[in-house]
Amino acid sequence: MTRPEPVLSVVVPMYNEESVLPALASRLRAVLDDLGETYEVVAVDDGSDDGTATALGGLRAGWPHLRVLRLRRNSGHQAALVAGVLRARGRYVVSIDADLQDPPETIVEMLHAARAGDLDVVYGVRADRSTDSRFKRWTAAGYYRLMRRLVGKQVPAQAGDFRLLSRAVVETLRELPEPAPVLRLVVPWLGFPSGEVTYHRHRRAAGRTKYPLSRMAGLAAQSVTSFSAAPLRFATWLGLAGVVVCGLLVVFTVVAWSVGATVDGWPSLYVAILFLGAVQLLCLGLLGEYVGRIYTVVQGRPAYVVATDTATDQDADGHTAASRGVGGPTALADSLR
């Protein structure tokens, strides 16, 4: 690579964000140009099918620091984020949403905090969520409470994916074999020295949310199953409880039979069958969650495929990387992503 690595990379995943792009570009550029550091902006176009790609192409003409990574298909916010972060070249890598809900001005504070405290991770923590809907706040609170129990207290309660990572953290992430790590959990789990910067989360500047309920549920399921076998253990306990209850029912039946009161045994039989059926189905479902994950990992199907990367000015898919002589475990891990 010819260009020296910049001090700062700003990764912006975007899916159909045509309407917000002009505002984003002008605000982000104002902040970054004033910073007095070398930087790159890695816009990850997550397979948008509106005018995002064209708009990015137009912006690039007048903004040489803008690098566009286009994924072949819509792979989801987390995958787009991982794609951008792992390919960013900066000494510090900040990820930020495209919709200006996270103020770009906070990036400056993050960088100062990282340097002043010699920190590897700086989380953007929301001071309040008053601009989010009550439903969003309620589900988010539940999600973070659960995650703090599963992963540990180092998961900040109100931090989304607005955060700064040092090069050391990014390199560690690159070595992980996980195809699509949930960064907001894996990063705290890694245990690097970290700090927080609080900010006010604003309303979406333009366009609509790309996070419907189904995606939120998907993220929650992925988060839980990627960090804990507790649900499986829950199934075991439930199964044990079922066995105990059935044991009691058997005793009851035998006693009833011995005193000759077995005329009408239908209700207890019916309840026992229903109960066992329910427990078995539940356990099968939970097992299926994990088997599904094993299946995905064994398949080794990448979570995204990069179509183009303006930084290399050529096809940035697997065989190009190989022809540039990238090898070893990182390349393997990379090909798994």
* 194-199, strands of its sheet edge to edge: 194-199, 121-126, 159-166, 92-95, 8-14, 39-45, 66-71, 306-309, 314-315
Binding flags for ligand UDP, 135-174, as an x/- string (CB under 6 A)? ----------------------------------------
CB atoms within 10 A of CB 174: 17
CB-based contacts of 40, cutoff 8 Å, min separation 6: 6, 8, 9, 10, 65, 66, 67, 88, 89, 90, 311
Position 304 contacts ligand UDP (CB under 6 A): no
Cβ proximity to Mg ion: between 40 and 97 the closer is 97
In the list 46, 99, 120, 161, the residue contacting Mg ion (rule: CB under 5 A) is 99
Report the distance separating Cα 82 and Cα 185, nearest Å: 13
Q: What is the DSSP letter of 166?
A: E
Cβ proximity to ligand UDP: between 8 and 14 the closer is 14
In the list 9, 48, 95, 101, the residue contacting Mg ion (rule: CB under 5 A) is 101
Q: Among the candidate windows 98-106, 179-187, 224-232, 294-302, which touches ligand UDP by CB under 6 A?
A: 98-106
195 to 214, contacts with ligand UDP by CB under 6 A?
209-211
Q: Among the candidate windows 75-83, 151-159, 168-176, 326-334, which touches ligand UDP by CB under 6 A?
A: 75-83
* DSSP string across 184-251: HHHHHHHT--EEEEEE-----SSS--S--HHHHHHHHHHHHHHH--HHHHHHHHHHHHHHHHHHHHHH
Position 223 contacts Mg ion (CB under 5 A): no
- Min dist. Cβ of residue 202 to Mg ion (A): 9
Position 286 contacts ligand UDP (CB under 6 A): no
39 to 98, contacts with Mg ion by CB under 5 A?
97
Binding site for ligand UDP (CB under 6 A): 13-15, 17, 46, 74, 76-77, 80, 97-99, 101, 209-211
